[in-house]
Structure 1
Amino acid sequence: MGNALRFLYSRCCKPTTAGGSHGVSTTDDGVSALSHDLFQFDTTSQVPEGLSNHVVSSKKAQANWYRKLLDAWREAKPPPKTPEEASRFVVQTLKRHQKADVEGLLAYYGLPHQPSASCPTSSSQVVKFELQTLPVDLKAVPDGDTITVYVSTTDPRESANLPRQVRLAADQRSKARAAKNYTKADELHKKITDSGYRVLNLQNQEILARKYRIRLRGIDAPESSMPYGKEAKAELVKLIQGKCLSVVVYDEDRYGRCVGDIYCDGKFVQEVLLKKGLAWHYSAYDNRVELENWEKEARAKRVGLWASTNPEKPWEWRKNKRQRVAQIKLL
């Protein structure tokens, strides 16, 4: 092993015992854990067991990443010492690899997400937290601006906040299934889902995950029964189905949904929908100039809903629908 890696590991990078399956309780611990795993890989040529829960590529591909990271770490002068430095180090070293894998690796170590260069500048709102999701299911997309995602409880942030009763129910369910007591297992899973969690089966492995409903920040897509409503949903499905997402959460709406920006395979999802004329810039709640310009670009090209002369705004459509329902109730 290179002296730089051995020195940093021995001085400051002992792995912690708190937190998720990797033992990472904070992003600072993530730097230590990364160094520890590189030390282990140099000795055993084995990648961490829990990594496959966060990435989509094979163990063989993972070994290739660690080989590259190890070589780059040895050459780094000095090697990364902060979460931000470690995150940039991983992204730069693995820039030719799948975005989902790089983001999954960052999530595994609890390192901060590095958004793409095309990411729009934020408005005055402050980021509350970031999510690195498991692959998105087709059924998780009800329309063009809302999705349901799941985050593994092995994620450091989730592990630190996992309710004790959910953890116990998950353990008891596993034992019930092993004993082939599926009735009891189903009852325990209902307790888990009622608490906002779910046990997912991914690649023949059960993963306890937390459920999040996400409202795409800054856009308003046509409702399903409106013109281009089905097209907006189809485009969103095409962008994210089966993919791991990075979600930057800014707020929570009155329906309990997280309001955030969605990134997938290096793309800013709201940008794609706006440029294809499948969503409006929701300027009443978001003042970012980039989103306004992407809508103007689609209008000028008359693509998507802008092929119509005067398309109805979704928020006006919803308001009119509420008024019609209120009138019917009065009759």
Structure 2
Amino acid sequence: MGLLGKLVKFLLGPCLKPTTTGGDSESLGPYGVSAATVGVSALAHDLFNFEITSQVPEGLSQHVVSSKKAQANWYRKLVEAWREAQPPPRTAEEAARFVIQTLNRQQKAVEGLLAFYGLPLPHTVVQVPAEVPTSWPQGVQFEFQTLPVDARAVADGDGLTVYVSTADPTESSRVPNEVLMAAVRRAKARAKKNYTKANELHKKITDAGYRVLNIQNEEILARKCRIRLRGIDAPENAMPYGQEAKQELVRLLEGKCLRVLVYGEDQFERTVADLHCNGIFVQEELLKKGAAWHYAAYDQRPEFARWEKEARRRRVGLWASSNPEKPWEWRKHRRGGRS
């Protein structure tokens, strides 16, 4: 056995041993062995081979439509992640999760590679429950990461639409099968330049609350999510300082990926959340800039009141006005006095 074979056997140990699951109907991977054993060993072999030769495996292009250069970039990332993994994946489920997490913004790469190695697809991967971080504020139910924010998706000073990659482990198991299949058929239609069919399939995807985004020349299937920032209320767009508040939120978020801490939903089915990006707590920044009021009726965190008080004292943002109208009162008057 050569050095490469010894290294693979050392890393993978038990998962290289033959296993039987009963029956010849078990699906076979590209290496001619059962999907239960091919995935991890073949992936490890190809990663070490790539590290030595910089060559991606033969036959991969039958499962993905990307260029050899793009494929090499995927394997480069996987090699780096494998080197850092402690311990490396030892089961098909772990290997699938490893690929999903490493290439979480590259939907085509994820699905193609998993199919190539006979590993579980994203929507079938069982998620490992994560420990609840002790740093979460009281009332937070869970968190997720977004794709980069488009400035056009910011509706006003306290609301926006974000997209979450379905390759993210927290999202992959939630994707409806019909959405996933529509995304696969759309990719095939585009590869055949059947753009009419591709557009029809994309409409089905968007109608279901998802969208295929092109980010850095990679198509990503993503879930659409409307966000309402918790604990603040910015001036409405038509109010004095409304446009300035909106632009302040755009300045903070445009092009950035967000960490979203979710509390629940409001009456308009928007996700009520805290937002963080690049080490900044977004609500804190908006309050200190005078771009929003503390919405004390729905959030009693004392630091929010303190940040608003500081902005009032400095007369920044909306507090440059001597008597700014509260946005909840403005909305009430627009509705004819109804609360």
Q: What is the TM-score with the length of structure 1 in the denominator?
A: 0.66
Q: Could you tell me which residue of structure 1 aligns to residue 184 of structure 2? A: 171
Q: 1:227 is paired with a residue of what secondary structure?
A: coil
**How far apart, in 2, do the equivalents of 1:197 and 1:7 lie?**
42
Contact 1:38-1:66 at 8 Å conserved across structures: no
After superposition, give the CA deviation of every residue in 1:150-203 in whole Å (9 maximum; x if it has no partner).
Answer: 111111121101101101111111122122221111111111000000000111
Structure 1 residue aligned with 2:213, among 187, 200, 207?
200
CA contact (8 A) 1:42 1:70 kept: no
Instruction: Assess, with a 3 A threshold, how the Cα gap between structure 1 residues 10 and 239 changes in structure 2: closer, same or farther.
Output: farther
Give the 3 Å change call, closer, same or farther, for CA 291–65 of structure 1 in structure 2.
Answer: farther
Report the CA distance shift for 1:266/1:126 in structure 2 as closer, same or farther (over 3 A).
closer
The aligned counterpart of 1:157 is 170
Amino acid at match of 1:210: R
Q: Distance in 2 between matches of 1:63 and 1:279?
A: 45
Cα distance, 1:67 vs. partner?
Answer: 6.3
- Contact 1:220–1:314 (8 Å) recurs in 2: yes
Deviation, 1:228, is 1.3
1:283 pairs with 2:321:
no
Matched, 1:298 2:319: no
Letter in 2 for 1:307: A
**C-alpha distance 7-302 of structure 1, shift in aligned 2 (>3 A):** farther
Cα deviations by residue, 1:215-251 (Å, 9 ceiling, x for unpaired): 0111111001111111111111111111111101111
Distance 1:41 1:232, change over 3 A: farther
Deviations 1:121-173 (A, max 9, x none): 724x242x211111111111010100111111111121101101101111111
The answer to whether the 8 Å contact 1:38/1:70 transfers is no
Q: How does 1:9-158 map to 2 (within 5 A)?
A: 45=51, 122-123=137-138, 125-127=139-141, 129-158=142-171
SS at match of 1:277: coil
- 2:228–2:272: 8 Å Cα contact kept in structure 1? yes
- Tell me if structure 1 keeps the 8 A contact 2:47–2:78: no
Which one-letter code corresponds to 1:122 in the other structure? P
5+ residue gaps, structure 1, are 1-5, 13-36, 50-58, 81-101, 327-331
Residue pair 2:235, 2:242 contacting (<8 A) in 1 also = yes
Question: Which portions of structure 1, spanning 4 or more consecutive aligned residues, are displaced by more than 3 angstroms?
Answer: 6-12, 37-46, 62-71, 110-115
1:267 corresponds to 2:280:
yes
Counterparts of residues 186-197 of structure 1 (less than 5 Å): 186-197=199-210
Q: Tell me by how many angstroms 1:70 deviates.
A: 5.3
| Counterparts of 1:284 and 1:7, CA distance in 2 | 60
Matched-pair contact (CA < 8 Å) for 1:122–1:288: no
Closer/same/farther in 2, CA of residues 259 and 38 from structure 1, 3 Å limit:
farther
Query: SS of the residue aligned with 1:142?
Result: strand
Aligned 8 A contact 1:222 1:228 in 2: yes
Q: 1:214 aligns with which of 215, 218, 227?
A: 227
Q: TM-score, normalised by structure 2?
A: 0.64
Larger Rg: 2
SS at match of 2:211: strand
State the Cα distance separating 1:39 from its structure 2 match: 11
CA distance in 2, matches of 1:9, 1:271: 47
Report the 3-state secondary structure (helix = DSSP H, G, I; strand = E; otherwise coil) of the residue aligned with 2:197.
helix
Specify which of 296, 309, 320 is matched with residue 333 of structure 2.
320
> Partner amino acid for 2:318?
L
- Cα displacement (A) at 1:309: 1.4
